Structure 1
C-alpha cells in the first residue's frame, strides 16, 4: 500500500493514508498487507512501521521492496522482525531478483523461521528453480498479460487492460513443484 509513487519516506498525511488503507483492508477481511516506510536517509522508519503493524492487528504484514534501497539489509531485516513484520518482499537489491540471489540466500538463511523472504522483481517462470535454491520462502510473480475489450472511458478510451495469464500461473506452479 503506497499513497503515491516515488520514494518511501512519507509525511504525516501520507502515513495517515497508509494507516487508513490498512484499516480498510483489515475490516474488509484481507489476510495481510504489503507496506513499507523509510526515513529520508534510507533507514527503516520504525515509528511508521510500528504504527502500521499495530493498525494491521492480526493481519500478516509484508515489508515491500523499500527493502531493496536500505544500506544495511541484514540490520533492517532484524529491525523488521522486532517490529512484528511477517515477511519481506525483495529482489535482493538488484533490478531483477535473479540477479540478487546472493543477498536473497543470505537473508533467507539468516532469518529462517523468523521472517519469510519473498523474491520479487522481474521474476520469470524460468527463474523459479534458481530462486528456490536460495532457500527463499516464496516468489512474487506478476504473470501479467493483456486483453482487449470494448472501448471504454470518455471518448472511447483504451480497450486494452491487464489480466493474469492462467498459463503462466500454471507453469510457475509446475516449476515450483519441481524445484522442491
Structure 2
C-alpha cells in the first residue's frame, strides 16, 4: 500500500521524504482543510523532494461550488503549476444540486494536460456517490480521495470498502481523513491501494509575549508534522 502525506510546509516535505513516503499532496492552510499552495512553496518543495508532488487546487475555504471568478482562479493556478513540474493535481468541483460539475471538471482535466488527477473530498458532499464513481472513472480521473462520507475514514470504512468494490479497479478509492498509526492496519487489511494522511499536530506560540503587542496572531494554531506518527505509519504499512 502506498502512503501519501499531506504537507503544508518545507519541513513537512523534508520529513515525508525522510520516512520514504510514496507521494506528497502539497497545500497551504491545513487548518481549514487546505488551499492552493503558493508558487514559492511549490518551487522550493520540488527542489527539496525526491518523491512525486501533487498540488491541491482549492481557491478558498468552505464549500466546493465555485462561481466563474473562483473557477478562473482554479484554471489559472493549474496552468502555472503544471509548468513547475508537479506530477498531479488534487481538485474537486460540484453543483448546487450536489452533483459533479462536469462542465468545470472537464475543462480542468483538459488544462491539466496529462497530469494525474485526484478528485478530493468534495466527493463526500455528493448526493449520489455510486453514480459519481462511474462518472469520474469515465472522465479519466485517477483516484477519489474520500473519508467514506464521514468525518474520518475509519468511521466511513464500510462505505470505503463498498465503493472500492463498486469501482472495479477502474478508478482508485483512496481513504483519507484521520488516518494514523492507531487505525492504519484497518486499511492495510482491506487492501486499499493507497492512503492519505497529514500526520500533523497543532502548536501554539508558547513563549512570554510583551504586554504592548497584539497577541491575536500568536493565539492561532500552526500545523506541524508529527514525525514519530508518520514514521510509525510507514513502518506498519511497509511491514505488511
Using structure 1 for the length normalisation, give the TM-score: 0.88
* More helix, by proportion: 1
Change (3 A) 1:149 1:53: farther
Superposed counterparts of 1:121-140, under 5 Å: 121-140=177-196
Q: Is 1:25–2:81 an aligned residue pair? A: yes
2:131 aligns with one of 57, 69, 75: 75
Task: Report the counterpart of residue 177 of structure 1 in structure 2.
Answer: 238
Distance in structure 2 (CA, Å) of the matches to 1:136 and 1:69: 22
Partner deviation per Cα, 1:18-49 (whole Å, 9 max, x = no partner): 11111122111111111000010100100111
Deviation at 1:149, TM superposition (A): 9.2
2:112 matched to which residue of 1?
56
Once superposed, what is the RMSD of the aligned Cα atoms? 2.1
Taking the aligned partners of 1:25 and 1:8, their CA distance within structure 2 comes to 20
| Count of aligned residue pairs for this structure pair | 177
Name the SS of the counterpart of 2:228 in structure 1: helix
Q: How does 1:112-123 map to 2 (within 5 A)?
A: 112-123=168-179
Equivalent residue number for residue 8 of structure 2: none
Counterpart for residue 7 of structure 1: 63
Please say if residues 180 and 229 of structure 2, whose CA atoms lie closer than 8 Å, have aligned partners that are also in contact. Answer: no
Q: State the TM-score, normalized to the length of structure 2.
A: 0.67
Q: Distance in 2 between matches of 1:103 and 1:57?
A: 32
| 1:158 correspondence with 2:218 | yes
3-state SS in 1 of match to 2:218: coil
Comparing both chains, which one has the higher relative contact order based on Cα–Cα distances under 8 Å and sequence gaps of 6 or more?
2
